[in-house]
Amino acid sequence: MTLPPGKAPRGGRQSRFRHYTETLMNAALLGGLVAWLSYRVGLHGRLGVTRYRVALPPERRLPRPLKIAFASDFHAGPPTHAGIFDDLFARIDAERPDLLLLGGDYVHGPARYAGALCAALAACRPPLGKLAVFGNHDLITDHGLIERMFARAGVRMLVNRAHALPAPFDAVSVCGMDDPWTGVPDGHATFAGAGPTRVLLMHAPDGLLRLDGHRFDVGFAGHTHGGQIAAADGTPLVMPRGPLSRPFHYGRFPLHDNGELIVSRGVGCSGIPVRINADPELVICTMQ
């Protein structure tokens, strides 16, 4: 579902303004020098691993635990020093997950910045594969280039479609939804053909508004960065676009009419190369 070369990004009317503001902000960051200094003194935060367990109903228990790694919001480019990516992939390698899910916003600026992720993604080989969705920052640039670069690294991009896992997890489908703000999300297409056990992968919590009544067991989202700059108790000081960004800004949220949603603080920095009380993280979720 990638647009042909030369077509405008799905970000539409936001694209020109966002490109302009990102270009100015990236220039102010001196080509990544400010991010290097920030990373060196610890202002990117300390990357950690957050663990969750999801218990399926007895009639749908899996043959063995399925270990899922989820990482989101890389923002490769001047705001984020690449050292944090080395930290991330070292953690993924140590965890040895069955499956790697990627939640979008791979770049902050031109699509070519995604190249900073590709070597590590290619070297990362979970047995059940690597699946990804686009984020709003990806869709206001050449997302087709990102998709091609990721494909060469063995990453499959899901745009409103379900991907069935191989045996012994063939009852599980990962349902990837397009970004709710700059994409064209379609709940019916996202869940079409999905198996009885469903993992929802989306960039922003606001994808919950576009489910079209479909059910899932566990969902993964990013976008919020946990605020990126938060009070000591974790309360975000500023939130990105979306009515569900603040109520679902970070953590685990059981939904009364569906499964549960896990929202990650992500990995990189957006806008400014600083995280305060909102450390970057790798999410590890074990489902059975």
Average pLDDT over residues 105-132: 97
Q: 211 lies in a domain?
A: yes
Q: 263 lies in a domain?
A: yes
Gap between the Cα atoms of 9 and 15, Å rounded: 7
Count: domains in the chain: 1
Instruction: Give 44-57 pLDDT, tens digit per residue.
Output: 999 999 999 999 99
Q: What is the DSSP letter of 183?
A: S
Q: 7 lies in a domain?
A: no
Instruction: Tell me how far apart the 2 most distant CA atoms of the chain are, in Å.
Output: 56
What is the reported pTM? 0.91
Gap between the Cα atoms of 77 and 111, Å rounded: 9
- Residue 219: give the domain boundaries: 21-287
Residue 10 confidence class, pLDDT cut points 50, 70, 90: low
Q: 182 lies in a domain?
A: yes
Show Cβ contacts of residue 251 under 8 Å, excluding neighbours closer than 6 positions.
262, 263
Gap between the Cα atoms of 155 and 134, Å rounded: 12
Say if residue 13's pLDDT is above 60.
no
The tokens of 13 are what?
């009317």
Residue 86 CA, distance from chain mean position? 17
Q: 11 lies in a domain?
A: no
Q: Are 92 and 71 in contact (CB under 8 A)?
A: yes
Q: 62 lies in a domain?
A: yes
Question: HSE (CB half, 13 Å, CA atoms) of 78?
Answer: 17
Q: 163 lies in a domain?
A: yes
| Other Cβ atoms within 10 Å of 17 Cβ, number | 11
CATH number for the domain spanning 243: value is 3.60.21.10
Say if residue 150's pLDDT is above 70.
yes
Q: Which helix (H) or strand (E) holds 118?
A: helix 115-123
Gap between the Cα atoms of 252 and 264, Å rounded: 9
Q: Are 135 and 102 in contact (CB under 8 A)?
A: no
Q: 215 lies in a domain?
A: yes
